[in-house]
Amino acid sequence: MMGPFDTNRATRRHFIAGAAGLAAAGSASARADNVKNLPPNVADWTRQLGQAVGVRGYGNPSKYEKDVVRRTVPWLTATPESSVSFTPLHQLDGIVTPNGLCFERHHGGIAEIDPNDYRLMLHGLVDKPLIFTLDELKRLPRINKIYFLECAANSGMEWRGAQLNGCQYTHGMVHCVQYTGVPLKLLLEQAGLKPNAKWIMVEGGDAAAMNRSIPLNKALDDCMVAYRMNGEMLRPEQGYPVRLVVPGWEGNVWVKWLRRIKVGDLPWFTREETSKYTDLLENGRARQFTFVMDAKSVITSPSPQVPVKQKGFNVISGLAWSGRGRVKRVDISLDGGRNWRTARIDGPVFDKACVRFYYEVDWNGEELLLQSRALDDTGYVQPSKDALRKIRGVNSIYHNNGIQTWALKSDGEVENVEVG
């Protein structure tokens, strides 16, 4: 399968084909107000009864929110079963991503697993190889944690310059969710580790049987075998009934539809940690096992899909996260990185979770170059794209955490731009 991230050539081919049509910046078309519902008139929904309880057994968002969806970039991959859909970050606020909007990345489609037939196998360098049913996993002590999950290839299409016009596409391979599950350490203790245990291999039960190696230290530190997200059972797209949670590390190791954990003394060097998810540098050598997601942020509104509608008071809003710890501060620039001021973080700040930031402005219509930069509690400062390129070149696909620039024009439109 072509990863969504082997895009350099695909993209160029696409330019030639010119098949994208008009860029779809801007919001859904504004509908005219219906004066019948406006004061002094009494609105329809006030004069008549609404739908009864129970009609909406599992409630959906309002019909007026139907354009709040995950979106795909069809030219990115050879097949939709091994592809990606993006979180509509520009239409969300706060830190928690609704379950149905969490981005998807599958390598062999969505496995639809009957929970009665679910089994987790734990074997290798252990005293007692074990199999757990879902009910058994649910009987064990459980914990609740909020973590971000970012695909290593998030922003991977932007290495060579501004390409996709919307933060959904440039940054939408991230979500932040509360997980409920069993600490992986507890499961490993049930099996008992042999003294030479150093690595684990985790494997999915989907048609790609995705497998990755994880150092035992991380497995014993904060990994979770999770079965719930935001209170309800995992969505099929997110690995129902069980996925691995690997806080702060690239999404690819958070194996979904988890069927097997094998304990070993060396890494496996699977296809997904060699041919893919290694970071090719300019000299032709590649970094491997680049697990941690560095600090990153993006202004989600305004952004190309949600332009500014009115001059005057406006709130700039965005998301920040770091795989190394807590986000400590977020700075905002209105002039493309010449001057910075500190944004206000609002809402809870958790380790390896998204934080929400705001910066309030009175906008008189002048053109702005909006940027945000995240700082974490290890002292790491989100770098500019040029600073990253200086070290890594433009071929590495993965781990692009460079500072994003949005150009705000006098008519309120916003564009993804590259600055120099």
Partner 1 sequence: MSRWVRPLLVVVLALAYTGAILAQEKKEAPRNYGVGHLATPEQIAGWDIDVRPDGQGGPVGQGSVKDGEKVYLDKCAACHGEFGESAGRWPQLAQGKGTLASHDPVKTVGSYFPYLSSVFDYIRRAMPFGDAESLTNDELYAVTAYVLNLNDIVDDKFVLSKETWSKVKMPNEGAFFDDDREKSEKAFWNPNPCMKDCRGPVKITGRARAVDVTPDESTQKRGME
Q: Which of residues 62-121 bind partner 1 (CB under 8 A)?
A: 63, 65-69, 71-75, 77-79, 81-82, 107-108, 121
Part of the chain binding partner 1 (CB under 8 A), chosen from 43-51, 229-237, 314-322, 412-420: 412-420
- Interacting positions 145-184 with partner 1 (CB under 8 A): 161-166, 169
Lookup result for tokens 């990153």: 296
How far apart are CB 40 and partner 1 at their closest, in Å? 32
- Interacting positions 386-405 with partner 1 (CB under 8 A): 387, 391, 395
What's the token pair of residue 12?
A: 């160029």
Closer CB to partner 1, residue 289 or residue 358?
289
Closer CB to partner 1, residue 81 or residue 351?
81
- Interacting positions 304-333 with partner 1 (CB under 8 A): 304-305, 331
- Rg (C-alpha) for the chain, rounded Å, is 23
What's the token pair of residue 31?
A: 């509908």
How far apart are CB 339 and partner 1 at their closest, in Å? 6
- Examine residue 43 and tell whether it contacts partner 1 (CB under 8 A): no
Residue from the set 80, 271, 309, 312 that interacts with partner 1 by CB under 8 A: 271
Contacts of residue 383, defined as CB under 8 A and 6 or more positions apart, other chains included, come to 401, 402, 403
How far apart are CB 35 and partner 1 at their closest, in Å? 25
Instruction: Convert residues 209-248 into a mask of x (bound to partner 1 by CB under 8 A) and - (unbound).
Output: x-x-------------------------------------
How far apart are CB 41 and partner 1 at their closest, in Å? 27
Contact at 8 Å (CB) between 222 and 206?
no
What's the token pair of residue 112?
A: 């639809």
Q: What is the DSSP letter of 152?
A: T
- Examine residue 269 and tell whether it contacts partner 1 (CB under 8 A): yes
Handedness of CA 340, 342, 344, 348 (dihedral sign): positive
Angular region, 245: left φ>0, alpha ψ -120 to 50, beta rest = beta
To which H or E segment does residue 131 belong? Answer: strand 130-133
Pairing of strands 279-280, 341-342: unpaired
Contact at 8 Å (CB) between 268 and 201?
yes
- Examine residue 38 and tell whether it contacts partner 1 (CB under 8 A): no
